[in-house]
Amino acid sequence: MSIKTITTTPFSDQKPGTSGLRKSVTVFQQPHYLENFVQSIFDSLEGVQGQTLVVGGDGRFYNRQAIQIILKMAAANGIGRILVGKGGIMSTPAASAVIRQYKAFGGIVLSASHNPGGPNGDFGIKYNITNGGPAPEKITNAIFAKSKTINSYKIFDTEDIDLDKLSVKRIGEMAVEVIDPVEPYARLMESLFDFASIRKLLQGNFKICIDSMHAVTGPYAQDIMEKRLGAPAGTVQNGVPLEDFGGGHPDPNLVYAHDLVEILFGDNAPDFGAASDGDGDRNMILGNNFFVTPSDSLAVLTANATLVPGYKDGLSGVARSMPTSAAVDRVAEKLGIDCYETPTGWKFFGNLLDADKATLCGEESFGTGSNHVREKDGLWAVLFWLNILAVTEKSVEEIVKDHWKTYGRNFYSRHDYEAVASEPANELMDRLRSMTGDLPGKQFGDYTVDYADDFSYTDPVDGSVSQKQGIRIGFTDGSRIVFRLSGTGTKGATLRVYLESYEPDASKHNVDTQVGLKPLIDLAEEIALIRQFTQREKPTVIT
């Protein structure tokens, strides 16, 4: 067993996006590709020698092989201890929880989140810092800079570690501790929620269906829902993590979680349904024949937070990503707490949570979380909803519609144009960017432009500035259209168009969302020429 120094050359495409480095599996399988990036991580971290790191992933194809490489490289780079999930499994929120509970230096999370898996699917890797959250841009920029100049990497020449047995092994001087990835997370959930009340709800006539989409939350949901909370066996569907997610697309939305949608909108539907994504940090919430938008979900959780033991003393503040609807803003105003608008990417919430400026955070992309970890957390959101349902004894639909009566309804939708050619997508954004100065005051039918800008964010904690975060066009009636290119795909570009219209009149709340937003949908096409630039007649996904 010896340390090898392998000569290598840089790859030009290892710049981390909003959630680390994501590429197709075949890209990561290139000789030296993963190793270069991992060495760049170790070379960028001051004081990491002798420290503890957490390693785990969502179980997708190449997860096990990548973990073995990381373990051997960590040992060669002087890491003191690695905590790795049994079977290489660890959900992203659980990894954050383990980093925090064990006071680890940081962690390496292997996931491409909601992207498809399998040999022809995607893979991803990101570094999380000591607070359990994704590395800030200062660190990801340093990793990218190292990746552009790397000429060698270090790795132990040794046998693989058995990841399927709880144990402590050594690679050289480094300890490798294979841990139960579920127990620390489940304990944390028990400390936040009223499990007794939820157990009583689930053991009564209230029926639920949880779809883990053959992704990482299967073992977590089975342990918490079926064992600890007593839901009937089979409540968790597709609960075995598979390397290709069973051939499905592990994105919990109305299109890709269609099996769950059919159940909740079918005959004799359960009272509650939920789905999580590939790495467990996203959630979709459904009631009987009722869909809850992620923006509304954040607002409802904020309005009802004091019903939940872990948040009974109230919230210090809330935060949402810029494209997320302003529904939570109205709740924050009524509660007298601050509401922060950040760029997309959970790392932007980290400083607010650490500084106790925010307690709950959310993104329209089916991500919600709180200060219990530093990632969004799918199962946490499900348990939060179940706790509210248990206390109020109302249905999902009743809770949301009562919320609208109090605060008004923010009609909201996101239209995704996936895998469009990058060049015309960037041309579309550049054209919009050039128009922002001329749009204010312009009339488009019944709409008058109030403001137009390319969103820029100054962090209220550390003063860092993030620019070019999306084109916002706001109208005098409170409506908005936002255009963004996503940083989470691996093929071409994904254009996201966000549409929002506020309706205070409760008598108008039962209109279909797409019907209610039709004037804004047409206006988005008129202003941005989406069909011309994307060569698409309609979005790939509407949520």
User: Is 543's pLDDT higher than 90?
Assistant: no
Q: Which residue has the tokens 């800030």?
A: 136
In this prediction the pTM is: 0.93
DSSP 3-state assignment of 302? Answer: helix
pLDDT at 137: 85
> Are 244 and 138 in the same domain?
no
Query: What percent of the chain is modeled with pLDDT above 70?
Result: 99
Q: Which pLDDT tens digit goes with each residue over 148-178? A: 999 999 999 999 999 999 999 999 999 999 9
Write down which residue in 406, 437, 468 finishes a domain. 406
381 and 428: one domain?
Answer: no
Same domain membership, residue 219 and residue 78 = no
Residues 360 and 459 in one domain: no
Indicate whether 373 and 424 sit together in one domain.
no
Q: Active site residue: 44, 91, 96, 113, which one?
A: 113
Residue 222 backbone dihedrals phi, psi, to 5 degrees: -65, -45
Give yes or no for a contact between 482 and 497, defined as CB atoms under 8 angstroms apart.
yes
* Residues near 457 by beta carbon (within 8 Å), at least 6 away in sequence: 322, 341, 342, 343, 348, 465, 466, 469
Q: Which of 374, 406, 438 is the last residue of a domain?
A: 406
d(C-alpha 138, C-alpha 121), whole Å? 29
Cα 517 to its chain centre, rounded Å, is 26
- What the block records as the tokens of 317 is 């503040």
Domain extent at residue 468: 409-542
Same domain, 209 and 233: yes
Asked whether residue 459 falls in the same domain as residue 533, the answer is yes
Mean pLDDT of 333-338: 98
| Phi (first) and psi of residue 512, to 5 degrees | -60, 140
pLDDT at 490: 57
Instruction: List CB contacts of 490: < 8 A, sequence separation 6 or more.
Output: 22, 23, 24, 112, 115, 122
Percent of the chain exceeding pLDDT 90 equals 92
Identify whether 113 is a catalytic site residue.
yes
- Predicted local confidence at residue 487, as pLDDT: 58
pLDDT value at position 411? Answer: 95
Residues 97 and 161 in one domain: yes
Q: Are residues 333 and 480 in the same domain?
A: no
Instruction: Kindly give the pairing relationship between strand 480-485 and strand 471-475.
Output: antiparallel
Same domain, 413 and 513: yes
> For residue range 421-458, what is the model confidence (pLDDT) as tens digits?
999 999 999 999 999 999 999 999 999 999 999 999 99
Where do we find the tokens 């015309």? 424
Strand partners, 353: none
Nearest to 53 by CA among 42, 44, 68, 64: 42
Is the distance from CB of 498 to CB of 481 less than 8 angstroms?
yes
Determine the 3-state secondary structure of 29 from DSSP. coil
Closest of 272, 276, 206 to residue 241, by C-alpha: 276
**Arithmetic mean of pLDDT over the chain:** 95
CA nearest to 329, candidates 299, 352, 356: 299
CATH of the domain at 168: 3.40.120.10
Overall average pLDDT of the 4-14 stretch = 97
Residues 396 and 420 in one domain: no
Q: Return the pLDDT at 155.
A: 98
Output 350 or 186, whichever has higher pLDDT. 186
Once rounded to an integer, what is the mean pLDDT over residues 304-325?
97
Residue 488's nearest CA partner among 115, 141, 119, 118 is: 115
Instruction: Looking at the structure, tell me whether residues 176 and 191 fall in a common domain.
Output: no
Task: Determine the Cα–Cα distance for residues 182 and 165; give it in Å rounded to an integer.
Answer: 14
pLDDT in tens, 42-96: 999 999 999 999 999 999 999 999 999 999 999 999 999 999 999 999 999 999 9
**Total domain count, the chain:** 3
Give the helix/strand (H/E) hosting 106. strand 106-110
Contacts of 264 (CB under 8 A, 6+ apart): 209, 270, 273, 286, 287, 288, 289, 290
CATH number of residue 492's parent domain: 3.30.310.50
Q: Point out the domain boundary residue: 390, 406, 422.
A: 406
pLDDT digits (tens, 9 = 90+) for 469-491: 999 999 999 999 999 998 555 56
